[in-house]
Amino acid sequence: MTDTAPHGWVPVEHRFLGLDRRTFAPALSVLAVALLLLYGLPALNALIPWHNEIRAGDVLDLGDGATAVPPVGWQLESGALTGGSVSPASVQVELTTGGAAISLRGTAFTGSADAFLDQVLRSEGGAPGIDGSRGTVTTASGLVGVALASTSPQGDGLDVAFKMARTAAEANAAPALLVRVRAAPSQFERQQDTVGTFLRSITPGVAR
């Protein structure tokens, strides 16, 4: 009669605290990979600074030939420079510097720049018509945007809505562009001239 070991039985020489030592190495390898993915790579990414600094001569691509000149020395966190194939209805640009950020978002919208800004405020829980006085921003190319400034304990802001059309006749159906400036307390005045220069540099694309 031959003795047969019970199913799952582990020889004494391979046991440690009741566990099969032969499974330790594969289990530790899996654990090491999991820890690397969960903590190692994000930590490494945080340690490596992101450098995509705007240089003199760089021009942002806003789709269909529309452009803007970003501030030299700022970081281009997202978005494309000219030479690509960006759709004006899907523009997403993020520019940052110490204590300030400029974002641009393009979308399809039928109506005026003022109505577009109303929709943006409404979608964020704001109340169009009672959100403060609005002004206008005119770019060097003659594009007119509707501007709304804001102030809070977190800092200062400026929203400017454009309809990206070369002619008034095309403005209603042209793509919309929201330029949003956010700055930490006391930082907006320091960046005011830079922001103004950037806004004036926005140029609409080809005629539709």
Residue among 131, 118, 116, 129 nearest 176 (CA):
116
- In this prediction, residue 146 carries a pLDDT of 97
Taking 80 as the threshold, does the pLDDT of residue 5 lie above it?
A: no
- Long-range Cβ pairs for the range 65-69 (8 Å, 24+): 65/204, 65/205, 65/206, 66/164, 66/177, 66/202, 66/203, 66/204, 66/205, 67/201, 67/202, 67/203, 68/104, 68/198, 68/201, 68/202, 68/203, 69/197, 69/198, 69/201
Q: pTM for the whole thing?
A: 0.73
- In this prediction, residue 167 carries a pLDDT of 87
Least confident window among 45-54, 75-84, 132-141: 45-54
Mean pLDDT of the chain: 82
Give the pLDDT band of residue 130 (cuts 50, 70, 90): very low
Phi then psi for residue 168, to 5 deg, are -65, -30
Give the pLDDT band of residue 154 (cuts 50, 70, 90): confident
Give the pLDDT band of residue 4 (cuts 50, 70, 90): low
